[in-house]
Amino acid sequence: MPDSLDVPEALIELQRASDAAGAAVHGLQDEIGPAAGDWSDEQRDTWAARWAAWRDAADRAHTAITEHAESTGASRYELEKVVKQVVRHAEPEA
Is the residue at 93 inside a domain?
no
For the chain, the domain total comes to 1
With 0.75 as the threshold, say if the pTM is over it.
yes
pLDDT (tens digit per residue) in 40-57: 888 889 989 999 999 999
pLDDT (tens digit per residue) in 63-73: 999 999 999 99
Is the residue at 56 inside a domain?
yes
Is the residue at 47 inside a domain?
yes
Taking CA 80 as the corner, what is the angle to CA 82 and CA 86, rounded to the nearest 5 degrees? 35
Instruction: Determine the pLDDT at residue 3.
Output: 45
pLDDT (tens digit per residue) in 11-37: 999 999 999 999 999 998 888 877 666
* pLDDT greater than 50 at residue 1: no
**Which domain covers residue 24, as residue numbers?**
14-88
**How many of the other CB atoms lie within 10 Å of CB of 4?**
8
Phi, psi of 57 (to 5 degrees): -65, -40
Is the residue at 38 inside a domain?
yes
Please state, in angstroms and rounded to a whole number, the distance separating the CA atoms of residues 36 and 89. Answer: 32
Q: Which of these, 93, 49, 67, lies nearest to 83 by C-alpha position?
A: 67
Is the residue at 41 inside a domain?
yes
